[in-house]
Structure 1
C-alpha cells in the first residue's frame, strides 16, 4: 500500500482532532461505525473513509451542517486522484507535499534543486545512478519534474527560496546555469548561492527542504532525502532547528543579485 498523501494525512488529523474535542476514544467511534479500532487508527493516519462513514463521524463528533463544508472539501481533496497517480510514483509522499505547499524553502549541497533543473541536467543525473533505469522510467521522471516546475508559474505560484552551495554548480553546464538565473527572475522565486570561500558550515551536514501550507492548522514539514530513501518530519523541535539552520545559511549566502552574478560568471566560463 502506498504512503498516504499530504491531503489524506490532513483529513485524518482533522478527524482525530474532532474526536478528541468530542472526548471520544477510538473504541467509541469504532463501535458506532462497526469498525475495529485498528481501522479507526488507519483513518486517522491517512486512510480515506467512504463518504457514509465520514458523514457519520462528523455527526458523532457534533459538527453541525453549517460547519461541515471545510471538512467535506478536505474529504474531496483526499479522495481526488492527483496528476502524478498515472506515473505510480514511489515518492508520492513528497510530491503531494510539494503540490499543496504555499512556501518551499530548500537547501541543496550536492545538486541543482529539482524545480530548477533543465531536462539535460535531469538526464545526466539519472544516467549516473548505480542501477541502470529503463528509458521509460527516465522519460517518466523527466515528465514529472517538468510538470512539478509549473508550480513556479501557475496562477497561484508557490513561494520558492533555494540556497545552493557553489560546489553543487560545478557539474552544471551553461544552459543549466542560465536557466537557474532565468527562474530566479520570477517574482516569487529567490535563489542564493553560498560561495566556496565561506569555508565549512552547517550545510555540509546535508540537504533538506521545509514546506509551509495554506491551512493555518497544518504544521511546517521538514523533508530530508538520504541514500536509501527519504523522510518527512513534523516534530516541532526538529523543524524549528532546521528552520534556524536555513536562516543561518541564508545569511552566509550571497544576496540574490550577487548570487545571480556569480552564476552568470560560472556560465560564461563553460
Structure 2
C-alpha cells in the first residue's frame, strides 16, 4: 500500500496506525455481512465517513469504535479496548510536533515519525550504508550521486534530515537498531576514498553502541533470502501495534502493514542474519575494508 498526500492537515492524512485500525474494523464489518451504509447509520454519518475510516484517512473517535464494534457483534471487551488504545496512539502521533512535520515528502515524513516513536528498527541494506549510520560526508556524496536535486541547497537539506534522524540513537530511551548490510554496500565507493575511510571508521563506532547490532553478509555467503529488496522493519513498544515494513522503490514507497505479511519480512530478515557474519567478525571485515580504501 502506497501512502499518498491528500491535503495539508494531519487529520486528513492516511497514517499507518489508522490504516491498521481501519482494516480491522473492515474485517469485522465484512464478517457481520454489513455494508458501509449500515455502519454510517449507527454513527449518524454518511457512508463516505466510514470509507475514510476504513482507509485510515481520519482519526478515530472512541465512541465511534465502540458503536461499530457493537454493531458488528464484537463482544470481546479486550479486543474493543485494544482498538481504542490503538486509536488513542494514532491521535497522539498525529498531534506530535516533530521537526519532520516541515518536510515536503509525506512518505518520508511518515517514516521518520514512525522511527521517532519506534523501539526497534531492523534494516537490511543491499547498496549503501543505513541512513542512521551515515557520516555527513557520505550522506552528501550519496545525495549528489543520486542526481535528483535541482537546487544545490536541496543536497544540504537531505543531509540535515539524515543527521537529525540519528539523534534517536542517543538519549534516555535510544532506538535499538539491528542492521544487516551486504558486503557490496561497504565496498561501493560513494564519494572519495577519504569519505569511505571516514564512513568505515564511523561504522566501527556505531557497532560499539549498546543499542546497535551490526552484521555483514559477505559475498561468500552466496544466495540468500533477501536478494530482491532492501527494507526496514519498524517495531513499537505498544502491544497493540503491528510491525510495519517500509520498502522504497525508485517510483514509490511500499508500506507492509498487516501482521501476516510483516512476519514474512521478519522471517526473511532472520534467515539472512543467520547467514551473515557474527558482530565481532563483521567488525573485522569492516576494519579490513577501511584499510583497503586508497586514494
What stretches of structure 1 of length at least 5 have no aligned partner?
Answer: none
Separation (CA, whole Å) in 1 of partners of 2:65 and 2:272: 45
Deviation at residue 10 of structure 1 after TM alignment: 5.4
1:239 partner SS: helix
Indicate conservation of the 8 Å contact 1:4/1:93, yes or no.
no
Separation (CA, whole Å) in 1 of partners of 2:259 and 2:48: 27
Match of 2:140 among 109, 123, 138: 123
Cα distance change of structure 1 residues 15 and 78 upon mapping to structure 2, 3 Å threshold: farther
Q: Which residues of 2 match residues 96-115 of structure 1 at below 5 A?
A: 96-115=113-132
Match of 1:191 among 211, 214, 223: 214
Larger mean CA deviation between 112-121 and 122-131 belongs to 122-131
1:128 partner SS: helix
Separation (CA, whole Å) in 2 of partners of 1:55 and 1:213: 22
Separation (CA, whole Å) in 1 of partners of 2:227 and 2:89: 42
- Tell me if 1:87 matches 2:97: no
Structure 1 match to 2:50: 40
Separation (CA, whole Å) in 2 of partners of 1:45 and 1:28: 17
Structure 1 match to 2:159: 142
What's the C-alpha RMSD, in Å, of the aligned pairs?
A: 3.0
What stretches of structure 2 of length at least 5 have no aligned partner?
Answer: 7-12, 71-76, 191-195
Cα distance change of structure 1 residues 211 and 223 upon mapping to structure 2, 3 Å threshold: same
Structure 2 match to 1:167: 184
Deviation at residue 204 of structure 1 after TM alignment: 2.5
Larger mean CA deviation between 24-33 and 207-216 belongs to 24-33
Structure 1 match to 2:200: 177
Structure 1 length as normaliser, TM-score? 0.83
Indicate conservation of the 8 Å contact 2:15/2:57, yes or no.
no
Between the two proteins, the alignment pairs up a number of residues equal to 264
